[in-house]
Structure 1
Amino acid sequence: MTRMVKGANVPAPVEPLQIAVCRSKAPGAPAVDVSALLVAADGRVRGDADLVLAGRPHHPSGAVRHLGTAPDDGGPLLADRVWLDLAGIEPGLDRVVVAASADGGPFGRVPGLDIRVTTMTGAPVAYFGIDDATTETAFVLGEFYRHRGGWKFRAVGQGWTTGLHGLATDFGIEVADTDPPPRGAPAAVPGPALPSPHPGPAGTQRTAPPPGGSAPVAADGPHGADGEAGACFGTDFVPFVLKGHAHKTFAVPRTVPAGPALLQVELEDDGGRVQVKLLGETGDRGEELWRGDRNWSRARFLVQVPEDRPLRLGIRASRRWAVKLMPVSHAEPFTGHAHGHDLDVLRYDGPADDLHYRVDATDGADAAFSLGAVFPGEDPMTPRPAPAPEATGNTATGVVRLPGPALLQVRGRAFWSLNAASGPPALAEYGSGRRAGAPVEIVNPLPGSPVILEYHLVAGLTSRFYQATETDEYGEERALLFARRDGMRGRVLLFTDGRAATRVRIRSVARWALRLLPLESARPLVEGVRGKGTDVLVHRGGASVVSLTGSTGRAPYYRVEAGAADAIAPAPVLEASGSRPARGPVPGEPGVPAYVTVRCEDMGWTLGLTGADGPRRFAESIEGHGYDVVHYTGRPGEVRVDCGEDRPVELWLLDKHFAPDRRIATGPGRHEIQPGPIQVRGGGRWRITAGG
């Protein structure tokens, strides 16, 4: 690893990197909070979203993630980690600054402070140890900066004795004082707020007015901004969950505090009807909150928990249902695009931006739609209404200016979509509001390149058996989506075979909508990334091993596929069922994107990632269960494969880039094998024994 002195610089590879800020364990040492600041050419951050820290761990671009403190393995060091993809840094940003602040004392009392930069495969990039800290309570340890079309890393080692305030001033971040300024003192210049790395209860956040003073949904601006849009709309509490069937009235326990809360109601089976009512103190008829028909599956909306009595709700449904009452801060983040068909609440934590929204009527159905926004310091139960959209045929569109973080409330009985102007635009939209069964011709907007197909299906009476197929120019059909594999909404790759157009037919759903997105919309694949349902991720770290751990409970089917952007067909990486982990190879070269598709039916999953040296090695014998990647280090020759006759396995030899080279074994018996990485494909237990 390159050991650096203060002011030195080294080239930084344009691939995913891991940054570790380490220090030695010592009783009574100050706590250290690590952050990353994305800085423009003027030396200032553009807004709250360009500050990534434990309380706001994801940058909207997906290029920077705060991974938290590494688990304590009993060793002598503590480490906070940041994941960085320099290739994803937006053109308007020139530097990524890695900083830290100390709580409980100066950095002179933090022993062994250093910063270490490696690739995701573990290859060293830079090491910088700081041994001259004294009274500083904030530090810039290092920075990545653009240089002649590439990137370099510089060892900085600059500190402030004024802590967060000194750091804030240097990068254009204002930290508001809790006490009012003296009379005659000049007014503070508006700027983005610096939140606490560990957000506390509502009202404890540092706040500042939004930059620029631009008008939001209404003519008058918001009354303040906060680094976490959902954090100031009520206190945190343990979510309340209740499941039932048919009709039920109940009172929410008083452990849920008074104030606004996020209510999610979901039907666990396809189809059916549901009605949600807010009941009076004595259980009277009360107010209807939502009524869903057979095409409805889930809605999220805000409710006010009374101060003087429990919240009482009534559910009438024809299927099994689940109710979850959560803090408002649990609203799903809006990171540039969202779509839906029902009520929803989204949390926007980014800088000032224009929000474009679109509504599509559905074959004569009532296309009622409203969009509201609430800004920090305002009552979430009275959102500011957006201007009425302009209608053209069955489609209506509008634009809302968001000056900063906000809580977005959507009420709709039609397909709707929200897109941030700074995010990747949709290349094309198809079928919004159409009924299923009619084929649609889809033209590739990027000839020669795959695109991401984002689908949203509304359940019908037979939706559990739906199927979407592609038809080529010769009339041959092939499967695109399955009900039990891909769920009702998600993302997959389309045009991986290079075709210029295809015909898609979706059967057995009520309605559907398709959008084509550029490959840049794929989420970055990093260690510990979580998701739900079917999604596409991108990995630029070269040949790696990915592991999938599914949700507990019922055992859904998971399938993972991976391949380069120009692959004719993504190769199968792994298949799994339930929560048992499975591993598979992600082929690729450093810097060359590989696209990974996780396919499952609306269930959660977690992906792990290790480098090409991650597979288990063996020279004589190894055993396992299901899909895996192993490395044979013995001599070329014969091995015996033991597995169940009813659940046979295949062995595939992988090349140096972890792409499947050739199949070397099918089922139990003796097979010839060569040294190198091997993919095991199968669903049961297996053993490989050299010589046999």
Structure 2
Amino acid sequence: MTHLAKGANVPVPTAPLRIAVGRQQAPGVPAVEASAVLLDVAGTVRGDADIVFHGQPAHPSGAVRHVGTGEGAGQFAEWLELDLPRIEPAVQRVLVAGSCDDGIFGQVPGLYVQVTYADGTILTHYDVTDASSETAFVLGEFYRRDGAWKFRAVGQGYDSGLAGLATDFGVEVAEAPALAALPLLPTAAVTPPPSGPVALQGVGKSDSAPGGVAVPPMAKPVPVAVPVQQTSSIATPAAPLATPAVMPSWGAGFFHFEPLVFSGKGAKTVTVDLPFPQDSAPVILEARVGPRYHFLSVQIAGRSTDVFCNDLPDYYGRALLNPPRKGGPIKLMVRQSGTWELILLPLTAALPIGPGTIQGSGREIFVHTGTAADLKVRAKDPHSGWFQLNQYQGDAPDDLRRPAEQLVHAWNGRRVKERVRIPGGPLLLAIDKSRHHWELTLDPLPLA
């Protein structure tokens, strides 16, 4: 990891990256809204769509997204995702900015920006130490140089808020009412603990108190225009998205690997050339599709059951995939009318779920490591599809290949309103069937 001083820069891989705009958790601290601003060669935005923030969470290209909040180690952060290979050639710079509508940045302790690989490994970190009366801040920027990408620690503040910052880059604020009232997340704060920065693993989207971690609702995917079919591994360190300590009773038996990315257009068969061990625990298959076609089919060659065979309501979904019991590689048969991307992830990439409310759509995988809790499930689908929430739990990797309990099953219903009891973790919660938009609220039970 590289710690940057103000004005310094560092090369970054042309790969999917996550960016946290973080601060120390503390009561009464002004809320900070993270945003990304895409600039052309002239240093200006091309239109309102080139500003990505909580109220406009995805760029039309799908290459830049606001994916919500994360919390841990005394920190609270908002997360952005950049898929650098998919940034349009006309975009030369992507600013990472923050705005503070109910206070000033001098009141925000430990403001920082942190860039991580897709697997959560920290790439670079910049602490802002000179904030004062500013209400908007450009913390850093990604920029093209000689065909590659670099990240620079900028640290430039504005007393005129996000509107003033946007005006500097060519936005007519009067024509962009969305900028006048950015929805704020709950007041909280952020900074790395004394032992140094910690990668926040939880990402999500929630209008409730911090602690709810949620899914990227993806009409904001990273889909769109996958240039050529390829089968390749992301060039990142071989580390899981979360350490095995997240799931202590299972971690020793997990198969850990670097995320693998496969992309293409139309019908293709791809080979996942990984040495899966015998009776391996499931892994996570993340799917993203282009903006024209929702439906995706992914089937393991030689099996009658599908990993995906459904609409992705916001062009995104994650499902559990059981490797062959005998181990070895897998062949995936993909059927889709447009562009698609599959990302194979270790099971430790499950999104943490904690107290509070999270929102999202389609299929998703969560890990619960807390105490026993009540889970309120609300879901809505205008097309009256299935909704199924399953619980996976056990002490051996093989135990996780099938659900331990079906928590919610709704067939041909527009709305789901259920309240279920879940035991203490670690356990997996998987929305296994859904094209619904859903909301989950976790309420821990009092300790006896």
Structure with greater strand percent:
1
TM range (shorter): 0.3 to 0.5
Normalised to the residue count of structure 2, the TM-score between the two structures is 0.48
Normalised to the residue count of structure 1, the TM-score between the two structures is 0.32
Larger Rg: 1
